Amino acid sequence: MIEVKNLKKTFASGDTQVHAVNDISFSVADGQFASIIGRSGSGKSTLLSLLGALEKPTSGSISVGDQDITKLHDHALISYRAHKIGFVFQGYNLVPNLTALENVMLPMEFAGVPKKDRLERAKALLSRVGLSDDQQLRKPARLSGGQQQRVAIARALSNKPKLILADEPTGNLDSQTGEMIFELLHELAKTENTTIVTVTHDLSIAGKTDKTFRLNDGKLVKK
């Protein structure tokens, strides 16, 4: 369960202040797939960065499981990002000189998982998201956009996170491939009991998620 309470993030811009996230409260249950929609500049990416503990809020709290992540420091924060969160980005962000398999193994290496287990889990995850044995040994440049995003999703799942955060994960894909990627995320939310929060521009996709939040100027608009 993620519980966000009175969350605010204010940026100073010259002598004015931008209330990027302006007193937002909501919750998402374990295994739920939630989407965030809203115009450019409405605060979607800022909200994801706060949920991923990439940025500190100006005020408010974010509980993930039984932890208030806004109170974590240093080691606990690094550990939270490494073990509890998986990130998926619009541009896939795979390491170009590593194979698909090595890309998925990498976060497990940082988390101290033994090599044999890393390899086994990475193979299983890549099969799970639909990559053949041959494709698993290719570098990202030799995979299609949809396949690269599948690798990124497998990588996000590698450390069995409680929460997956995705920022416009289908933004670079054609609509049919995008829909398949969303179906995959939806399925994984259920089978892995992972909460997924995704930002999307695609209203037809947002309409199919368990919960949709609309942001407007940093405020949550009830749907």
Task: Name the site residues for ligand ADP (rule: CB under 6 A).
Answer: 11, 13, 18, 20, 38, 40-46
3-state secondary structure of 43: coil
Question: Residue 96 — left, alpha, or beta (φ > 0 → left; ψ -120 to 50 → alpha)?
Answer: alpha
Neighbours of 20 (CB within 10 A): 24
Residue type, 184: L
Helix (H) or strand (E) holding 168: none
Min CB(215)–Mg ion separation in Å: 10
- Separation CA 100–CA 138 (nearest Å): 6
What is the β-pairing status of strands 219-221 and 211-216?
A: antiparallel
Q: Which residue has the tokens 């924060």?
A: 77
Nearer to Mg ion, 44 or 81 (CB): 44
What is the β-pairing status of strands 163-167 and 85-89?
A: parallel
43's contact among ligand ADP, Mg ion, none, with CB below 5 to 8 A by partner kind, is: ligand ADP
* Residue 58 in contact with Mg ion, rule: CB under 5 A: no
38's contact among ligand ADP, Mg ion, none, with CB below 5 to 8 A by partner kind, is: ligand ADP
Interface characters, 10-49, with Mg ion (x: CB under 5 A):
----------------------------------xx----
Min CB(223)–ligand ADP separation in Å: 16
Nearer to ligand ADP, 43 or 161 (CB): 43
Signed CA dihedral, 133, 167, 214, 52: sign only = positive
Min CB(13)–ligand ADP separation in Å: 5
Nearer to ligand ADP, 32 or 46 (CB): 46
Nearer to ligand ADP, 105 or 220 (CB): 220
Positions in the binding site for Mg ion (CB under 5 A): 44-45
